[in-house]
Chains A and B, each alone.
Chain A
Amino acid sequence: MKVYLERENKNLNLRIKEIKVDSLLEQLKINKSTVLVVRNDELVAGSIILKDKDEIRILSVISGG
């Protein structure tokens, strides 16, 4: 599974068959209230199951001062 962390400008290649969005964030130690998760350009909620072929982007929502 390809995961792009936008704030860090970092690409990850994870060996995961399938995983729930919230579990992925937990595994990456990312607080779920601070990010949006986009799968193949579509926003997905924490309960959605991601598959190994999915391309994931994790966007930080914190902006401003």
Chain B
Amino acid sequence: MMSECKECQKNPVIILSESQKLCKSHFLKYFEGKVIKTIKKYGLIEKKDRLAVAVSGGKDSIATLHIINQFLKPQKREVIAILVDEGIKGYREKTIKDAQAFCKKEQIPLIITSFKDEFGKTLDQIVKSQSKKKGQEKMNACAYCGVFRRVLLNNAAKELGITKIATGHNLDDEAQSILMNQLKVNWKRSAGLGPISGINVQKTAQRIKPLYFLPEKEVATYAYLMKFGVKFTQCPYSHESFRGDVRDMINGLEEKHPGSKHSIVNSLMNLLPILKEKYKEGKFGYCKICHEPSSKEICNSCQLIERLNLNDKIRTKKELNKSIKKSRLKKTKSRK
């Protein structure tokens, strides 16, 4: 078997799932080309959009931020990085440093918002207080982390006039979500997947996923070759999650049957128009407590705030939004 790049005679750095070998320079060209193709094919970025990237400081979000910044620069458009600090000791501090260093180097404004500032407790503190409660079924950390992260991202986006938030979701993440939804018979949730997702209601920034068709290994390869200086670290709570089990299962399948991840995602792409039609958004109401758009009388975030007894720790979301506006605008200005 020949062991050289399919485009030149150099040593390959990766074998793609279609068995194609690529050297460093041809891989970088292939990777960036695939991201730009996804952006253009699915209309992820339009002229009227003001873009933010939700960054964690990990390889996926930093790769997304880098490519979007390169894409927007020639158009003289700016991208803003938004980082949610959940307060996970021994994990998030390191990735925040990586994100700060990267944004400083690429001169991208970085806004940091935290659970502690906005809900009164870090994720670690919430988890700890949960384990002390008797008679209440313990929820895993990912369940409320995801909801609160979404709220903070939406708040920041609203205050900054962001119309779309790009996330670092890759092909592996999406294949896992699809299978998780299927195992929970939750087709409604799958209807919200795809390269452009999120409820398109007034005031809420849509989510876009430029890395949608790129496997995690390829994103890691890109981050390594580009010398982003990010570490491939795993959240300490991830072992609690259903996602971790599904990830192992899909990686096992991919090893025996290469191309399985692409097949799972492509099968959803075929079904997506039908699912979107079946579950198209009806009339959206507003949460009785925080007055944010919600399909329920009380939104998930307010239900969790109640359940976790965060009520006495936080200000009302209206008060919160006012203070965010002031502090965020200050931070953005100072970084220019």
Contact = CB atoms under 8 A, between A and B. Distances in A.
B58 A43 contact: no
B116 to A, nearest CB: 19
A34 B238 CA distance: 16
A47 B21 contact: yes
A60 B220 CA distance: 9
Contact-residue bracket for chain A: 20 to 34
Contacts, number: 84
A33 B220 contact: no
Given A44-B13, A65-B235, A65-B237, A36 B255 contact: no
Contact-residue bracket for chain B: 35 or more
Contacts of A38: 224
B251 to A, nearest CB: 5
Given A43-B13, A43-B24, A64-B238, A36 B221 contact: yes
B60 A64 contact: yes
A46 to B, nearest CB: 5
B243 A60 contact: no
Contacts of B231: 63
B249 to A, nearest CB: 11
Contact of A63 (B12, B59, B221, B237): B59
B201 to A, nearest CB: 26
Contacts of B238: 64-65
A62 B142 contact: no
Contacts of B234: 60, 62-64
Contacts of B235: 64-65
B224 A48 contact: no
A63 B232 contact: yes
Interface in A30-60: 31-36, 38, 42-49, 59-60
A33 B60 contact: no
Contacts of B145: 65
A65 B141 CA distance: 10
A14 interface: no
6 contacts: A34-B217, A43-B224, A45-B3, A59-B232, A61-B219, A63-B60
Given A46-B15, A48-B12, 19 more contacts: A31-B254, A31-B255, A33-B215, A35-B217, A36-B217, A38-B224, A43-B14, A43-B224, A45-B3, A45-B21, A47-B1, A48-B11, A59-B224, A61-B59, A61-B232, A62-B234, A63-B231, A63-B233, A65-B241
